């Protein structure tokens, strides 16, 4: 392995991310890391499937969101999504066409392998270093020095974790930490020491990653499904389709034809059954997949599963309409908008499911995975904060809802810089002191969270900062 490159990347990681908020830095590091990965795989002659490099596109797009948008939830999720996608890409590239489930399993396994092999790669790196530097002195001194360094690193990590978990334990080590900090401050800036430790940890983790990639052996184990009688499957499908038929008739009558009992309010009715219907539709998809796996060429099963998909479409549309009714009453939130997006995902995956029922030759799980990636990237670029603030604020401005029903507290605390245009519309339109205070808090948040450091640069934060300053 080229440990010099890994060391340089580790230093770069520390420079870009240590004590900093991810912004432009995320995009820069991701591109550099992907280029190095491709170079390493080519050098080691590990490339078996070039098409898998296409997964670089969603990885780069997800890293781009740190520059363009300012959504806390997506920033958190995308970090781990990038890691998983990267691992999946590497496993796919380094192996010929294999079962999707095996590739996915091994991409998750690669995370743990990287940690497990970190010390192995560190030993290999030190051996190379000794040979390059022609170290011929006392081997025991080198051995003890290496052991001391590793021990200190582990002690620093564990003591910090335990200190944050227990105040008494923290107070026990506070004196030691103060004394040590004073000593370090006399030698170096204490942050410099921490940066060295941080860089070293990143170095052994990245080394462990590439060590694992080089030693990778795909586990070719197919998941065995529990056996169920053919007759049982047919009875389940037949019975459920009858139940779904009755349910769909009720949905058409009550929701779409607006025929509810007098004691029901539409918003309450919508909220009551939404998540249950969502869960039912997921169960149906799993049941369809299982049924076709057990008995693919049975006409009754084929017709029953197709009927189930049709009923599923009606159930999803019912869920969609329920959420729409509820949203009309109470406005947009992250959860409600996420639900809309999830329902759209369901409607999309029904299409390859139908194709699978008619023709089993497609790798459905892989199709699902690719659809999910595209869907996830798309919702990242939808700009949830703008959509939520636009709809809620404009409903108030148009007079659809009263000032009392406008949740300025939610907008202030939960939306980010992307909502600035819509929230600034509320200036001089609110009468309540409480609601004016919420808007003022939002503006303060925009000012206080803006960073001038180029590594932390975020386009959405920059634009919002300028607009609030002008306002």
Per-residue pLDDT, 25: 94
Looking at residue 428, its pLDDT comes to: 83
- Give the span between the Cα atoms of 137 and 121, in whole angstroms: 23
Cα distance between residue 331 and residue 390, in whole Å:
11
pLDDT of residue 301: 80
User: Integer distance in angstroms from the first to the last C-alpha of the chain?
Assistant: 55
pLDDT in tens, 355-369: 888 876 778 888 999
Residues 6 or more apart whose Cβ sits within 8 Å of residue 107: 84, 87, 88, 90, 91
**What angle, 0 to 180 degrees and rounded to 10, lies between the N-to-C axes of helices 56-68 and 459-470?**
20
Q: Which residue from 251, 273, 248 is spatially nearest to 260, judged by alpha carbons?
A: 251
- Residue 277 is predicted with a pLDDT of 66
Segment 373-417, tens digit of pLDDT: 999 999 999 999 999 999 999 999 988 888 888 889 988 888 899
Residues 6+ apart with CB under 8 A from 399: none
Instruction: Please list the helix, strand and coil fractions of the chain in percent, rounded to the nearest 5, in that order.
Output: 80, 0, 20
Residues 179-200, buried b or exposed e (16+ Cβ, 10 A)? Answer: eeeeeeeeeeeeeebbbebbbb
* DSSP per residue, 31-85: HHHHHHHHHHHHHTT--S-GGGGGGHHHHHHHHHHHHH---HHHHHHHHHHHHHH
Intervals of the chain under pLDDT 70: 1, 97-99, 118-147, 149-193, 216-230, 254-278, 292-297, 360
Q: What is the pLDDT of residue 189?
A: 46
Per-residue pLDDT, 290:
75
């Amino acid at each position: 392995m080229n440990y010099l490159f890994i060391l340089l990347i580790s230093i770069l990681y520390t420079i870009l991310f240590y004590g900093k908020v991810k912004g432009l830095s995320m995009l820069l590091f991701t591109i550099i890391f992907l280029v190095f990965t491709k170079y390493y795989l080519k050098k080691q002659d590990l490339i078996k499937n070039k098409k898998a490099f296409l997964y670089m596109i969603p990885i780069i797009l997800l890293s781009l969101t740190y520059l363009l948008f300012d959504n806390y939830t997506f920033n958190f999720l995308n970090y781990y999504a990038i890691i998983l996608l990267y691992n999946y890409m590497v496993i796919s590239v380094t192996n010929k066409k294999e079962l999707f489930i095996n590739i996915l399993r091994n991409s998750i396994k690669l995370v743990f392998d990287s940690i497990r092999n970190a010390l192995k790669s560190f030993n290999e790196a030190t051996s190379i270093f000794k040979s390059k530097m022609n170290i011929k002195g006392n081997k025991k001194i080198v051995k003890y020095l290496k052991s001391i360094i590793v021990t200190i690193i582990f002690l620093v990590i564990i003591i910090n974790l335990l200190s944050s978990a227990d105040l008494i334990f923290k107070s026990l080590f506070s004196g030691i930490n103060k004394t040590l900090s004073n000593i370090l401050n006399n030698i170096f800036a204490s942050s410099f020491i921490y940066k060295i430790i941080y860089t070293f940890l990143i170095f052994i983790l990245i080394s462990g990653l590439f060590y694992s990639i080089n030693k990778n052996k795909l586990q070719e184990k197919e998941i065995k499904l529990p056996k169920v009688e053919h007759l049982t499957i047919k009875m389940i499908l037949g019975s459920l389709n009858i139940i779904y038929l009755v349910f769909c008739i009720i949905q058409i009558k009550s929701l779409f034809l607006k025929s509810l009992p007098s004691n029901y309010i539409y918003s309450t009715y919508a909220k009551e059954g939404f998540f249950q219907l969502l869960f039912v539709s997921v169960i149906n998809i799993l049941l369809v997949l299982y049924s076709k796996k057990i008995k693919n060429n049975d006409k009754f099963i084929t017709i029953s599963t197709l009927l189930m998909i049709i009923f599923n479409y009606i159930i999803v549309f019912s869920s969609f309409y329920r959420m729409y009714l509820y949203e009309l009453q109470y406005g947009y939130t992250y959860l409600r908008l996420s639900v809309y997006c999830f329902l759209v995902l369901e409607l999309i995956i029904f299409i390859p499911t139908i194709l699978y029922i008619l023709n089993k030759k497609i790798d459905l799980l892989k199709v699902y995975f690719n659809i999910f990636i595209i869907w996830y990237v798309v919702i990242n670029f939808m700009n949830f904060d703008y959509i939520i603030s636009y709809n809620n604020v404009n409903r108030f401005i148009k007079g659809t809802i009263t000032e009392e029903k406008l949740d300025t507290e939610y907008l202030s605390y939960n939306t980010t810089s992307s909502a600035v245009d819509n929230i600034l519309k509320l200036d001089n339109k609110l009468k309540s002191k409480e609601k004016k205070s919420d808007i003022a808090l939002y503006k303060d948040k925009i000012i206080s969270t803006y960073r001038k450091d180029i590594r932390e640069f975020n386009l959405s934060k920059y634009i919002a900062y300028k607009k609030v300053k002008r306002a």
